Amino acid sequence: MTTTFRSRITARIGRTYLSRIQKYGIGSSTVRLLPDDLLMMMRRDGLDPVDKLARTRAKRPVHKVSLPFGMDAWVVSGYEESKAVLGSADGFSTDFAHLATNAGVAAEQSPGGLGFNDPPVHTRLRRILTPEFTMRRLRRLTPRIDAIVEERLDAMAAARGPVDLVQEFALPIPSLTICELLGVPYEDRDDFQQLAMDRFDLFAGTTAPFGAMSESLAYFRDVVKAQRAKPGDGLLGMIVREHGDSVDDEELAGLADGVLTGGFETTASTIALGSLVLLQNADVLDRIRDDDAMTAPFVEEVLRYLSAVQIAFPRFARHDIEIGGVVIPQGDMVLCSLSGANRDAGYVTDDGRFDLDRIPSAGHLAFGHGIHRCVGAELARMELRTAYPALARRFPGMRLAVPPQDLAFRKLSIVYGIESLPVHLR
Ligand code: HEM
């Protein structure tokens, strides 16, 4: 299929979806209108996906859902079926930015970055970013991640009374790591942390993150300008030095914003929810504390079990395409439930249980699969592999400071999370 033809199709799909979204709005009232079959992907019962998702997956791993604006979408909750969708760049587009532009939405509203671009733009941008995420380059961050984690543990140890692990541990680790990665100037750190938090304050209303997104892009435009003039040692400085001519300032700001969007809330939620797994399983905490060899299996099982990113980027069928024996018509939107896929009984046995000794036959889908697979997966692993054992070693006797039923989890969000995690450290 030629690029022009693809563009025409994605543009048409985009215009249809976006004109309807514009007409009906994407406020909380629209969320309420969304069918339960769609919302079930974002609902949980504590750390577990709701039973309805498991029942649906068992009967119809590829399941059609009618949207309120008269359109169809597909919920894919099976492991193999999700892998097939995510792995088919020819079959599915994620080009939302392109769609937005074609639908006449202001360019500033386009998320940019990697997730909402198709090849060849995606391929070019990803090639620019990938070298910065190789283990060799990431290794330079190891001492900084160690120091960030130790600083947080020291600050927590000095506090009196219960400590909130979300505020004091889970949020600062990825936000400061991303500062280091990008090469954000030291004096900007407080502002940057605030920006990162505002960006994900979904409880402030559905339009708040859009305001924060423009602010974030504006902030990165300034950082990019400064890095062009005087490239630093971080990711942005490296890109300016090595690919300065092949990427413009807008694209670079979009990439930086994409790294913040992709790497902050996802990792923070996983650190917080994984800490809760430790709090709920004293035997697991002991093994993580005492045996370095358990760290990597713990992190992989946490990623699978929690699947904090509950849904992959929306895909749009480029042409009629068969997935799991079902034909998805051209133009329909497809949502892959990663939390559903990672608990598919066809993929893991005893799927509802956290099992440190589990050896799955294939990789989990917590980082996605295919051309959009998480570019920051190794960085996330580095953070998680540092944070959990350090926490378990420093505070082996930590325990919840509130009854488990008082823990407030996110009710409806693509990235699952917990509002606060108050603990007694000793
Ligand atoms: C536990 C932490 C994380 C989880 C669970 C996670 C999960 C994901 C998932 C599910 C996708 C989408 C895959 C798809 O739709 O096919 C993704 C994409 C992405 N992630 Fe992550 N992520 C994490 C951490 C990070 C970090 C630390 C960074 C960067 C600092 C990052 C940057 C990105 C980017 C830029 C993309 C878009 C890639 C593309 O479209 O080519 N993520 N991530």
Element (H, E) at 334: strand 333-336
Tokens of 314: 């929306």
pLDDT of residue 97: 52
pLDDT of amino acid 258: 86
Rounded CA separation 313/270 (Å): 18
> Does residue 395 have a pLDDT over 80?
yes
273 in ligand 1 pocket by Cβ < 6 Å? no
- Give the strands of the sheet with 92-93, arranged side by side: 62-66, 72-76, 333-336, 315-317, 92-93
Does residue 142 register a pLDDT over 60? yes
By mean pLDDT, which of 22-26, 62-66, 211-215, 221-225 is the weakest? 22-26
The percent of residues in the chain predicted with pLDDT above 90, rounded, is 65
What is the dihedral sign for C-alpha 55, 57, 62, 67? positive
Q: Which of 186-190, 239-243, 317-321, 417-421 has the lowest mean pLDDT?
A: 186-190
Report which DSSP code applies to 409.
Answer: B
On whether the CB atoms of residues 212 and 201 are closer than 8 A, the answer is: yes
* Most confident listed range (102-106, 201-205, 214-218, 391-395): 391-395
How is domain 3-424 classified at the architecture level of CATH?
A: Orthogonal Bundle (1.10)
Does residue 234's CB lie within 6 angstroms of at least one atom of ligand 1? no
Q: How confident is the model at residue 109 (pLDDT cuts 50, 70, 90)?
A: low
pLDDT over 50 at 21, yes or no: no
Distance 262 CA to ligand 1 centre (A): 5
- Confidence band of 287 (pLDDT split at 50, 70, 90): very high
Distance 376 CA to ligand 1 centre (A): 6
Dump pLDDT digits (tens) for 56-86: 999 999 999 998 777 789 999 999 999 999 9
In the prediction, which pLDDT does 9 show? 41
- Kindly report the pTM of this predicted structure: 0.90
pLDDT digit string, tens, across residues 173-208: 999 999 899 988 777 877 777 777 666 554 444 444
User: Which tokens belong to 245?
Assistant: 């001519």
Residue 266 CA, ligand 1 centroid: distance in Å: 8
Query: Is 126's C-beta closer than 6 angstroms to any atom of ligand 1?
Result: yes
Q: How much is the average pLDDT of 283-310?
A: 97
Is 396 a residue whose pLDDT tops 50? yes
Least confident of 10-19, 127-136, 285-294: 10-19
More confident residue, 225 or 350: 225
Measured from the CB, is residue 374 less than 6 Å from ligand 1?
yes
- Model confidence at 32, in pLDDT bands (50, 70, 90)? low
Q: Can you read off the two tokens belonging to residue 12?
A: 């048409």
pLDDT attached to residue 19: 45
pLDDT-wise least confident of 256-260, 275-279, 333-337, 343-347: 256-260
Which ligand 1 atom lies nearest to the CA of residue 308?
Answer: 5
Query: Does the pLDDT of residue 3 top 90, yes or no?
Result: no
Domain residue spans of the chain: 3-424
**Residue 278 near ligand 1, beta carbon < 6 Å:** no
For residue 221 and ligand 1, the question of a CB distance below 6 A is answered with: no
Determine the pLDDT at residue 279. 98
Q: What does residue 425 show for φ and ψ, rounded to 5 degrees? A: -80, -25
